[in-house]
Amino acid sequence: MHKFTIFTILLSIIVIFVVAELVVNDYLGDDFADSTQLEETVVETPDEIEVPEEEVIEEPVDEPLDPELRGDEEEVGEIEVPEEDVVEEVVEEVVAEITGNLTQELLATLDFTEPVLTTTLYDGLVYGFWDVSEDFTDMTVLQHKLFDGADYIGTVYEVQPGSSIELFTAYETLRKTAESSGNGTINENNAYGDASFYFNHETKSNTVFLTVRTNDLVYSLEYSPNYHVTIRSLIELL
């Protein structure tokens, strides 16, 4: 009993001493205040949080740049467009390489005051309305225009076959074209050269259309009846 009393007294003293130490150092107050402050801490958030709009990146479109705005363009010289006289010179050079039987010198022997001859390659049409471009693909066809000064005389189409077979083929092609044409009738009289025929156009009655095969060439002539005598002399020279 005496020991228990002593133990109780000692325990009471220790408790009193610990409590006194806590009070002196204000441990309970500081801890309590810290915990209370933590619980009462409020995180303020703004009513609206502005979220930046997502930027739209436009992909560049390849467009031609204005040459005046570019700084890296190369200087390009102006493209010169050939004038008509230049084109005519080129055509004359091409035709000059192709020898035609009808020449300026030959025309000068006829009864003309001021004979003028212009020669070009035909455009696929004979007389301007017979399309024989596919039939004459492998043949050379020249178109001669005859003038006496400023007066137009007529046009002569000179077909140059490459062989005797092509010679007969060219003539037959023109003859059959005349026979099947719905614009007129054929008059095959064989009055000139080795063979010949007239084509009587139903509306162009003031124009003579004559095709002649002679000296391994074929000619289709278009002229005014006023020059019939002169053209007949020309055919004899061809």
pLDDT in tens, 108-129: 999 899 999 999 999 999 999 9
CA-CA distance, 200 to 6, in Å (whole number)? 163
At residue 31, what are phi and psi to the nearest 5 degrees? -65, -45
Tell me, what's the pLDDT at 14? 76
Q: Does residue 18 register a pLDDT over 80?
A: no
pLDDT higher at 35 or 183: 183
Provide the token pair at 116: 């003028």
H or E element, residue 228: helix 228-237
What is the pTM for the complete model shown? 0.61
Place of tokens 């301007």: 128
Segment (H or E) for 186: strand 184-187
